Structure 1
């Protein structure tokens, strides 16, 4: 057994490492694919050539003539296709429309009518979403001939974007008038909702779109420019130019009352425009600024100019208030959720601003990978999404290298892939899918993160020049066609051959690049490379084995081709990333290697494998980190942290090798204010770190936030920097009263910025005021929270304060039906019940179990999801509980003896954490980092500093760091009272959350109202998150209820539940009764079945053992009616209990190693005050502690240069 005595990883990484913190991942739809037959695929009997589609939409009564239904549309589609297979007397296409009124078939060469079977011209197979056309007896289609199929039909304009297809949304203009719009979201299997079609990515055609819109509406937008507009009285016919040859899911049209161009580069040859609702004027400037250079860089790098892909091709980006995902790559008209495209100076934080850039790069990359070439079928969706995810970071980095996104790629994608691909149930990149549910499920982290990481590994294997040439070969060979992985392999083989480059394997043979690529695409999982240094012989023995996070899984016989890179202490070289060989055997030995010092493999972590060293090598690495950490590359420091944590989870290493320290130094460096003209990465770092620190309970962070909030509310300052708002508003509301909450609530209602509106929704969830909490929950179920934000609103509430999840339980129980309706998608409904569990302690979990049991019959999926989440939550609680004592005892033995002097002598407002508690230890680590970063966003500071502060202050406040909490609460109070008129967006999360967590119902109502008034979607979501922090029972109940209303967008309802669980350690348990009583409403509100299950799965991770038991009881009560919820919930309960046990076993060992290996100078804490929140109970902060360690150390390993 390998055992390392000491490793200092995190301390040095945290204080001095390079790069910004990783971004949050939000608004991600994850569906659990269900097994299905293979009869959902179309036969390859026909080849579609072109479509003519005409749509006449009907909105409200004013635009709907007699005999037509509101929110429906009349459609006709004419499809020209070529016959491939002989003797066809019937054929099939996809359709999932409301009504098929008639079909006709013509032979195109002479327009002759082809007779169809009398009495049975067509048949609808709704189970498989097929439209079957029957030819008359004795009639067959002629092979090689072209035919035209005409279908007349009626379609639905769906209520929410979660149903995909054609959907409706609305917004209030500057006069408060409700304006309607229609949009499309057809990926991956929903073009059949808009028009009968060959709805598979491999079928490519051209499309001509015609829209008959109400004349009173604004001009329509589609893939191509408008060619003809004909005024026909009450209707205007708009005919658009023909698209390039593309897949049906890329078709789009946007019919609206009030959307317009808000930013334009005024370049007729290379047009780039930002489109949005009429009252978003001025919010498109940043998206315009970044879009053109990214497009140009991609055009140059890929050697195919975007604007050369088709005549008249445009490059519009449109912001939709309601959208089910981050964005979708429709050719010529990319559609984004507002907070992923619109930026408002002073209202949008650095995190959301950076996300605008990376998501824009992702969608623009799709123009080449996804649009120009497309995977033949969704089993290889990684071809689309892996490339887009790769260029998401590297295209944005190329255009804006100061953001250091090449470093962030390691955390966001490489380490995410390693985490996601370490389970026994993981999938290979190429994975068989058939049904729409299976297809949607394959749009998963593996396809994105492992696909992108695979490409990074390939680039460094073959060199950037060869990689670039291979991509050009691929695109040029398959443009306007579909592609299989074999086409990509051929392109790399050709480029490698032309480069005359030789890559050797273990046996000394030249690498077969096609075999290399095929193995990585077809095999699930990845290896850990075990390294044993023989210092006497000067050799290094290598052995690979598949890595599983579970220590009980049997070994496999898989052998990956591994690019081997390494460097040594005697000759450190961190820039040569080309492999010395590809290890394609189980074992190998390196000869004549300097072995007197340390050796580090997988240089800069560019390859997909973990590394485990012999004990002596681990010790030498630890010694180097302690004496001069800068000698080791910052990306390898981050790699070491990530690998060690994973190896400990798998029990390949003991937990003694993990570390947790130094938030204070980072905060000291970043400060609490946004500096003028600072680098964007500094702003982003502060944004993340201050939110992190405040949420951890870091007192200085809290104090700073609360003071800023008070200044803002009292009018002392007129605005809070958008990059400070999250923690400022949250802490202000957490520490504030109902009046504080109402202040933010009103501000949200008045906001014209969606990002700010969401941010305030998050902050409103931070209140502890019962009146505010009740109003927050109720408000989620109203139109004040967009349907897309309702799931998030619940999560914001859970996250807002540790008591919020439990507070929400009665509300959820009493409003299941309303929640189900409000979140729309069945999956989101399930997520409402899953997410809350993770925010409940054991007592809350027990209450939740009882609640779930009471709704089991009527809401079986909620019951299943909730019980699964309870299981996960208990596993997490057990993990933490089992490890905490071990961590602390060793710390006391190994930590420096110098006692830090407190910076404050104030009395604690709550109980003091027990001596040696994990929380107390974390606070010691936080103080110096917070001192370094500060609580304010500094003028012109680097974005990494802003991001560090953002993460750190949120972490510290949530951990109960008193200074962070006080700062946030004071800032919140200042903001609510008008002393300051705004909270920096990068401080809002922890400010609002702590303000609401410490506040009353009035404080909660303040943020609730501010969210309602917001005109910024990012701020709206941020405030939804903050509103979930409240401990006030009235506010918690209102928050939970509100999730199920139109006030929270359907797309945000799943997150809203999670925000509530996260908001306070008591919130998950509080939410149990609400969930139990509102299973049906939650199911309806979240719309997607998978999200409904996630509601029940997610909550488990926030419950302690008592809460998990309550949750189990609740799940039992709903088992019959909601079996999927029951299953999801119980599965999550098991996972939660396992995690709790693991964490408790290891915590003591973690801390001891940290203190033993970190510099001997002991930093003084920023405060001796106790947290204003309760000491984290087992299963609350303790639940998150191990995961928090991994996040904190890995992220901060690349913070500061």
Structure 2
């Protein structure tokens, strides 16, 4: 599954305050800030509640066992579904073939939100059956005990609802070109929602084969599933579609769709590894031309994976479908991958460069799962990282194999690695492998640790063992365990077998079994360089807390790579820093001035140098930036700012480093810099020195902004990505020409939406800052009307983002309230709407008030097991930086203690607020002093902006 939400990219655009009154606002707000900081010292210890919250997180309901008993093993399902598209209900029946491995008189399987109308067991007498809601069990008691090795057939007749949900078997609607509403039925069963579609043994290790029959309306409607249709029975108003039996697979991979979608088809070439097979893409008929890119890319990346894995694709087809309503970005059902429309459909008239890249990434992720996840599946959800971490890393390799000019291997740093390094530096993080039992816990573990940290650690492992060795191990793993289930140790065993001398298992346990990561501290000695390590935490106050238990004492076995000042040929050496030693020495010649660790930032750790080494690295960057490649320049920027944010490095170091940006021309380093410039702007917004900071930040952007301009390059992917990053930062930081350009383009668009629509790459910037700069309510209403009429999903997302740029709190409240209506904002997009408004400083308090007041309705609609709803609290509050807001959050928790899948998000929210308060106290003065001293000569030499 490909997660949607804020993990996949950092939002680049923030609202800008009214600069004409900035001095007055700063003075007033600064007084309030000073009081807040005094409150911090007098009223709270920075983590006074942490132990209680931590204990609440790890507390388990030991009296309840949510796992199925092990007495029975399903082998085959015959499932018959009849979804009624008009009423939004479905009926079904099934027969499950079961093998008895332990004597029992009960059959226990999962069923949730289903009405069970009949239960029978062939040649056995059923005494009773009951539904247990807490564990979502269907418990069937027989009159006699089933002996070991018996084979039985269980039959169940059931029915359920498809409306008002996005999981299980559910309904979706869309409008065709004629404006008529069309209904469809589709499914989303991962991780624990198959039990809402049919009673089943809904655990990943309970693999079986599935013979599926689906009833659909005759005429324009049809049904598709994991396998090809082999028979069709016409029944008048309805038709039965009968599909081939599947291969052995987990329940969460079952998929059925009833729709009137159109399709296009291509062929995937196996090139000697298995047989060629078909790939079809399904979408609403008026959008079917938008699947061409997905088909072309999908076939190409699938062919790459076949060669990479060296394992034949085991099914006879691999289809894709764009669903109008979908909770995640995509889902890797075997043979039938489902997507949001924005994650599959590409139209150059509407889709930006980022849209195109995102579509490719999502496709590459889900198709990678067809082997790693579907063919070989984790034993239990504790090891979900085996699925998602591997697919996350492979998606970058897959896209890079097809589009090598997109720089995807470097983009892994900024999209995957850097965000998770921020998250994993908090006490609210968790290990990659973590025990989960309840449905809410299972849902919550589909997070940035499983995906981004999992992918980052796999990337580090590949670098450590070598790409060819890693690929061989992956093939061996897939062949050995095909159609089976595994744990983390099974995968590491295969890597270990290829490179037995490297001690892979010992090294990897320090990364999978404990949260966090180290910072390596580097100093120069007479013999070379000395490296020590400690756990990296973003808030210095966190070090005062009693850490959760770790068998490795929060030390890591680190595969270090490094290069040195005199190695101008780009040579790289390596050494392993074992977790159980105090330090490691790197012996180098005395003429080597500096050393740079973590080459290309493939390692999952940060690096801090003594001050003299940082000075030399900055001098090298300034003198000749090309001495470091793209990834290393981005790494130096990212680590320097992160270390300064954590008070492990003077803020003067990263600020001095930004001076080299005048020579920077590449997207990835600029993405790091631009995001940080925006983040500091938001943090300093109400502080002394804010105006000086704005002036300096704008000066850094001035040259690259002028050079890039507002004209999109049709065939330069990375140049377009750079342009959007720079324009977004320039407008967020209030560069006058940027705001003027956005406003001019926006007004022209409103005057003629058909011919004056901006380039897709520029639309979010133009819509957002056009709305922000407009003082006319009619402009907002015009864009809102266009939003309501827009049929293209990606364009609606862009417009929805733009509408959140208003500086009027009442307008934002009205938009938030309107967005609750699913006829205006689809349920799948609601959380994006909330995040967009909350990211606007004017909208932040609006969203927070709304969230608190409407919590009962929100939790009833989305449920506490919804991981995206659970994460909303940390997203809404991520910029809070005062004790009043901290107290409001804590009071909210006290009022509504049940968190469900949002338990960790609540911890993260509190930790982030406290960090924000401390960040200002620690760093504001240093930044202000540097700006008033070092930066002033630079500013006088430039044109005032």
CA contact (8 A) 1:1054 1:1086 kept: no
CA contact (8 A) 1:570 1:594 kept: no
Counterpart in 1 of 2:701?
Answer: 926
Counterpart in 1 of 2:152?
Answer: 147
Question: What secondary structure, in the 3-state scheme, does the structure 1 residue paired with 2:521 have?
Answer: strand
One of 522, 528, 539 as aligned partner of 2:528? 539
Measure the CA separation in 1 of the matches of 2:237 and 2:934.
76
Counterpart in 2 of 1:99?
Answer: 115
Counterpart in 1 of 2:782?
Answer: 1006
1:422 to 1:1076, Cα distance in 2 relative to 1, 3 A? closer
Counterpart in 2 of 1:1036?
Answer: 812
The alpha-carbon deviation at position 631 of structure 1 amounts to 1.1
Counterpart in 1 of 2:16?
Answer: none
What are the superposed Cα offsets for residues 735-763 of structure 1, whole Å, 9 maximum, x if unpaired? xxxxxxxxxxxxxxxxxxxxxxxxxxxxx
TM-score by length of 1: 0.68
The alpha-carbon deviation at position 319 of structure 1 amounts to 0.5
Counterpart in 2 of 1:992?
Answer: 767
The alpha-carbon deviation at position 625 of structure 1 amounts to 1.4
The alpha-carbon deviation at position 1054 of structure 1 amounts to 1.7
The alpha-carbon deviation at position 207 of structure 1 amounts to 0.6
Counterpart in 1 of 2:713?
Answer: 938
CA contact (8 A) 1:246 1:372 kept: yes
CA contact (8 A) 2:644 2:650 kept: yes
CA contact (8 A) 1:598 1:621 kept: yes
1:411 to 1:1093, Cα distance in 2 relative to 1, 3 A? closer
CA contact (8 A) 1:210 1:239 kept: yes
Q: 515-524 or 204-213: which moved more? A: 515-524
Question: What secondary structure, in the 3-state scheme, does the structure 1 residue paired with 2:126 have?
Answer: coil
One of 936, 945, 949 as aligned partner of 2:723? 949
Matched, 1:518 2:518: no
Measure the CA separation in 2 of the matches of 1:217 and 1:522.
52
Measure the CA separation in 2 of the matches of 1:523 and 1:1014.
47
Measure the CA separation in 2 of the matches of 1:1009 and 1:665.
42
1:1058 to 1:351, Cα distance in 2 relative to 1, 3 A? same
Measure the CA separation in 2 of the matches of 1:40 and 1:58.
32
Counterpart in 2 of 1:198?
Answer: 201
Counterpart in 1 of 2:125?
Answer: 115
What are the superposed Cα offsets for residues 131-178 of structure 1, whole Å, 9 maximum, x if unpaired? 112111xx22221232111111112214131xx111111000000000
Measure the CA separation in 2 of the matches of 1:578 and 1:625.
23
Measure the CA separation in 1 of the matches of 2:589 and 2:936.
30
The alpha-carbon deviation at position 264 of structure 1 amounts to 3.8
Question: What secondary structure, in the 3-state scheme, does the structure 2 residue paired with 1:938 have?
Answer: coil
Matched, 1:74 2:91: yes
Measure the CA separation in 2 of the matches of 1:570 and 1:473.
40
Measure the CA separation in 1 of the matches of 2:327 and 2:201.
23
CA contact (8 A) 2:216 2:238 kept: yes
The alpha-carbon deviation at position 214 of structure 1 amounts to 1.9
Counterpart in 2 of 1:978?
Answer: 752
One of 794, 802, 810 as aligned partner of 1:1018? 794
The alpha-carbon deviation at position 549 of structure 1 amounts to 1.8
Measure the CA separation in 2 of the matches of 1:878 and 1:410.
23
Counterpart in 1 of 2:307?
Answer: 300
1:179 to 1:426, Cα distance in 2 relative to 1, 3 A? same
CA contact (8 A) 1:373 1:479 kept: yes
1:476-487 matches, cutoff 5 A: 476-487=479-490
Question: What secondary structure, in the 3-state scheme, does the structure 1 residue paired with 2:370 have?
Answer: coil
Measure the CA separation in 2 of the matches of 1:347 and 1:690.
28
CA contact (8 A) 2:633 2:669 kept: no
The alpha-carbon deviation at position 638 of structure 1 amounts to 1.6
Counterpart in 1 of 2:383?
Answer: 380
CA contact (8 A) 2:557 2:579 kept: yes
Counterpart in 2 of 1:255?
Answer: 258
Matched, 1:1060 2:833: no
Question: What secondary structure, in the 3-state scheme, does the structure 1 residue paired with 2:839 have?
Answer: helix
Measure the CA separation in 2 of the matches of 1:524 and 1:150.
45
What are the superposed Cα offsets for residues 571-615 of structure 1, whole Å, 9 maximum, x if unpaired? 245454654776752212233444541111111111122111122
Measure the CA separation in 2 of the matches of 1:428 and 1:339.
32
Measure the CA separation in 2 of the matches of 1:1016 and 1:1163.
48
Measure the CA separation in 1 of the matches of 2:523 and 2:850.
55
Counterpart in 2 of 1:1098?
Answer: 875
1:179-328 matches, cutoff 5 A: 179-256=182-259, 258-262=260-264, 264-265=266-267, 269-306=276-313, 309-310=314-315, 313-328=316-331
CA contact (8 A) 2:557 2:577 kept: no
Counterpart in 2 of 1:969?
Answer: 743
The alpha-carbon deviation at position 1149 of structure 1 amounts to 3.3
What are the superposed Cα offsets for residues 1151-1175 of structure 1, whole Å, 9 maximum, x if unpaired? 776999999987987874xxxxxxx
TM-score by length of 2: 0.86
Q: Which has the higher contact order (CA 8 A, sep 6+)?
A: 1
CA contact (8 A) 1:692 1:958 kept: no
Question: What secondary structure, in the 3-state scheme, does the structure 2 residue paired with 1:381 have?
Answer: helix
Counterpart in 2 of 1:561?
Answer: 557
Runs of at least 5 residues in structure 1 that lack an aligned partner in the other structure: 1-20, 27-31, 61-69, 107-112, 498-509, 671-681, 697-837, 839-875, 889-912, 1169-1201
Measure the CA separation in 2 of the matches of 1:456 and 1:689.
20
1:1116-1135 matches, cutoff 5 A: 1120=895, 1132=909, 1135=912
1:635 to 1:1155, Cα distance in 2 relative to 1, 3 A? farther
Counterpart in 2 of 1:654?
Answer: 650
The alpha-carbon deviation at position 1116 of structure 1 amounts to 5.3
What are the superposed Cα offsets for residues 168-198 of structure 1, whole Å, 9 maximum, x if unpaired? 1100000000001111000001111111111
Measure the CA separation in 2 of the matches of 1:1138 and 1:440.
27
1:145-184 matches, cutoff 5 A: 145-161=150-166, 164-184=167-187
Measure the CA separation in 2 of the matches of 1:562 and 1:455.
13
Measure the CA separation in 2 of the matches of 1:394 and 1:371.
19
1:590 to 1:1074, Cα distance in 2 relative to 1, 3 A? closer
Counterpart in 2 of 1:1178?
Answer: none
CA contact (8 A) 1:685 1:950 kept: no
Counterpart in 2 of 1:64?
Answer: none
Question: What secondary structure, in the 3-state scheme, does the structure 1 residue paired with 2:296 have?
Answer: helix
Measure the CA separation in 1 of the matches of 2:893 and 2:509.
45
Counterpart in 1 of 2:23?
Answer: none
CA contact (8 A) 2:389 2:458 kept: yes
Matched, 1:627 2:623: yes
Measure the CA separation in 2 of the matches of 1:1049 and 1:401.
35
Measure the CA separation in 2 of the matches of 1:323 and 1:685.
34
Question: What secondary structure, in the 3-state scheme, does the structure 1 residue paired with 2:441 have?
Answer: helix
Measure the CA separation in 2 of the matches of 1:881 and 1:1033.
18
1:965 to 1:397, Cα distance in 2 relative to 1, 3 A? same
Counterpart in 2 of 1:355?
Answer: 358
1:639 to 1:265, Cα distance in 2 relative to 1, 3 A? same
Measure the CA separation in 1 of the matches of 2:663 and 2:292.
32
The alpha-carbon deviation at position 334 of structure 1 amounts to 0.3
Measure the CA separation in 1 of the matches of 2:895 and 2:577.
57
Question: What secondary structure, in the 3-state scheme, does the structure 2 residue paired with 1:1068 have?
Answer: helix
One of 607, 625, 642 as aligned partner of 1:611? 607
The alpha-carbon deviation at position 1079 of structure 1 amounts to 4.1
Measure the CA separation in 2 of the matches of 1:691 and 1:647.
17
What are the superposed Cα offsets for residues 966-986 of structure 1, whole Å, 9 maximum, x if unpaired? 100000011111284321111
The alpha-carbon deviation at position 662 of structure 1 amounts to 7.6
What are the superposed Cα offsets for residues 979-1017 of structure 1, whole Å, 9 maximum, x if unpaired? 843211110111001111122221112211222222221
